[in-house]
Amino acid sequence: FQSGSLTGKTVFITAGPTREAMDPVRYISNHSSGKMGYALAEAAVEAGAKVKLISGPVNIPVPERVERVSVESAEEMLEASMLDLGLCDIFIAAAAVADYRPTAIAEHKIKKGSEEIMELHLVKNPDIVATVANSSPKPFTVGFAAETKDVLEYARSKLERKNLDLIIANDVSRSDIGFNSDENAVTLISASSTESLPQASKRQLANRLIERISAQYKSTAR
Ligand code: C5P
């Protein structure tokens, strides 16, 4: 691991879940721990980068020398991601963004009715990493693909559909790695290469990922 490989570079990283409010006391969210994104932020700082960590609600302290911007909803995460995007060299989307949010946030706590069935209407959230990858100038953009089957095929189609430079695929059907686990095993896919990294702690893996990301960033014409 070559320290200093990202000296002078600015890296934005999204991490953790988003929370989509229904009313002043309730929300829709997911079990993302934020561990992978925070480990990447630490590794990027150690490689010499200036890091902005755009984080949903998680229980992890802010890593040293990392600027954390705390957000709740996907819309807030998008806004924080687009702010000063022109300064960003590498954008890594490790957040587990809620795909949908309630169409409206009730002003007051929603009351229990007499009906057995309650309907909740949802609207699609913006795709943060795709929005970043389609802006100009575009940073070197890295996404994650957590899949339970046909992992590499889905990841390749996501790489193209979202206009990413690199996608990090992981198989979340395995309970020993991925979501909420301390370990992960991934495959890096770009338009021209596929490389698997063996199972390791998220922190060790983060070092290897930052090393691979900075190497690919440097070899990409821009
Ligand atoms: O489409 P899917 O959610 O599987 O894509 C995962 C990748 O896209 C991750 O890198 C995730 O952070 C990013 N993403 C995003 N905004 C969304 C949904 C996903 O940035 N609304």
In tens, the pLDDT along 97-154 reads 999 999 999 999 999 989 999 999 999 999 999 999 999 999 999 999 999 999 999 9
Domain count of the chain?
Answer: 1
Q: Is 111 annotated as a binding residue?
A: no
CA distance 71 to 69: 7
> Does residue 3 lie within any of the structural domains?
no
Domain at 126, CATH number: 3.40.50.10300
Taking the CA of residue 98 as reference, the ligand 1 atom at the shortest distance is 21
Tens digits of per-residue pLDDT, 2-25?
A: 458 999 999 999 999 999 999 999
> Does residue 46 lie within any of the structural domains?
yes
Q: Give, using CA atoms, the residue closest to atom 2 of ligand 1.
A: 145
**Whose CA is closest to 177, among 190, 166, 187?**
187
Q: Say whether pLDDT at 1 is over 50.
A: no
Q: Is 158 annotated as a binding residue?
A: yes
pLDDT value of residue 2: 46
Q: Is the dihedral of CA 31, 98, 27, 85 positive or negative?
A: positive
Range of the domain at 29: 10-219
Tens digits of per-residue pLDDT, 38-86?
A: 999 999 999 999 999 999 999 999 999 999 999 999 999 999 999 999 9
Kindly list the catalytic residues: 30
> Does residue 1 lie within any of the structural domains?
no
> Does residue 4 lie within any of the structural domains?
no
CB within 6 Å of ligand 1 — which residues? 14, 74, 93, 95, 97, 125, 127-129, 143-145, 158
> Does residue 212 lie within any of the structural domains?
yes
Are the C-beta atoms of residues 91 and 141 closer than 8 Å to each other? yes
Instruction: Please give the ipTM for the structure prediction.
Output: 0.98
